[in-house]
Structure 1
Amino acid sequence: MERVTTDDIETEPHPMGVNRERRSISDAIGAEHMSAVHYELEPGEQFSGGLHTHHDQEEAFYIIEGTATFEHGTDGEKTDVEAGEIIRFEPGEFQCGRNESDERVVGLALAAPGSRHNWDDLESFAPCGECGEVTSHGVEEPDEAFVIYCEECGHEMRIA
């Protein structure tokens, strides 16, 4: 058994700078078969680096405080999730959660199986600097930087 408080977990902001208060509960308790991350999002911040899916994990978000807005699918549909509510995304379902309100959002991201996803199974939609369009992008496992590459033309973007 492992027990921690979120205040005792070191903050690890998202490498793309989309949030500042991100705490890996699963790392702190040594979880291997599921992921749990605590977020505190100020207005304009988001849970992840953009519209994406995990082909190898389902993901759920429990909102503790505030209202988070989740874009889902690839057609721009949005759903607000309020404090006390939870939203679930199947493996392969595109989503991105943001704080579009004027108040702080506190939430938990829960994913399984595995405490880490397989980077080969992560896909995002992002603007490609080469194609000039929003295209499907893959992500290489980060060493010193994230490498996001366009599935259409191969153009790579490095994010430190």
Structure 2
Amino acid sequence: MEKVAIDDVDIETNPMDVHSIRRPVSDALGFSDFAMNYFELEPGESFSGGLHTHHDQEEVFYVQQGTATFETRASQRDAADASGDEEVTVAEDEVIRFAPGDFQHGYNDTDERVVGFAFGAPKSKHDWDQIESIIYCQDCEDELGHGLELTDDGDFRLTCTECGNSFTP
């Protein structure tokens, strides 16, 4: 058995500084088959760095306090057709699930703090090569899927799946 208080879990933020408080509970307790992260999002902050998917993991978000907004897209193929985009509001004590391959970006666009949890399965950590972000490619001049990797310096490197252009934001 393992037990920990949320406030005793060290804060580890996203390299893109998109949130100020993220506590990886699964790391603190040594999870192997399940990911759990605690978040406190101030106005304008987000759970992640942008619209992305985990091809190897489903994600569930529980909003304990406040209201979060999730931008969603069924697939990268829908990128050219913005009609596939949707914004979903998740209020206090509500839960939202994203299957592997579903693109999502959760954020706080209110004036109040959002407190919530992100859960992932089937592993406690996703494989970096199984994450895909949708962002604008300067070479292709279009919003396209980009592979993601973590550099030795702890930064993200994004690579366009269409042209291979690579950059660090």
Instruction: Report the TM-score, using the length of structure 2 for normalisation.
Output: 0.90
Q: Indicate the residue corresponding to 1:97 in structure 2.
A: 106
Query: Are residue 86 (structure 1) and residue 95 (structure 2) matched?
Result: yes
| SS, match of residue 40 in structure 1 | strand
Q: Indicate the residue corresponding to 2:81 in structure 1.
A: none
Matched positions, count: 159
Q: Indicate the residue corresponding to 2:41 in structure 1.
A: 41
Q: CA deviation at 1:71?
A: 0.7
Q: Indicate the residue corresponding to 1:16 in structure 2.
A: 16
| SS, match of residue 168 in structure 2 | strand
Q: Indicate the residue corresponding to 2:132 in structure 1.
A: 123
Q: 1:64-79 residue pairs with structure 2 within 5 A?
A: 64-73=64-73, 74=78, 75-79=84-88
| SS, match of residue 2 in structure 1 | coil
| SS, match of residue 7 in structure 2 | helix
Q: Percent identity?
A: 50
- Separation in 2, partners of 1:157, 1:141: 12
- 2:147 aligned residue (134, 138, 147): 138
Q: 1:2-13 residue pairs with structure 2 within 5 A?
A: 2-13=2-13
Higher helix share: 2
- Separation in 2, partners of 1:68, 1:93: 18
- Separation in 2, partners of 1:143, 1:21: 23
| SS, match of residue 26 in structure 1 | helix
Structure 2: runs of 5 or more not aligned: 79-83
- Separation in 1, partners of 2:21, 2:150: 22
- Separation in 1, partners of 2:85, 2:110: 18
- Separation in 2, partners of 1:63, 1:99: 11
- Separation in 1, partners of 2:5, 2:139: 45
Query: Are residue 150 (structure 1) and residue 163 (structure 2) matched?
Result: no
The one-letter code matched in structure 2 to 1:130 is: D
Q: Indicate the residue corresponding to 1:110 in structure 2.
A: 119
Structure 1: runs of 5 or more not aligned: none
RMSD value, Cα: 1.1
- Separation in 1, partners of 2:88, 2:152: 34
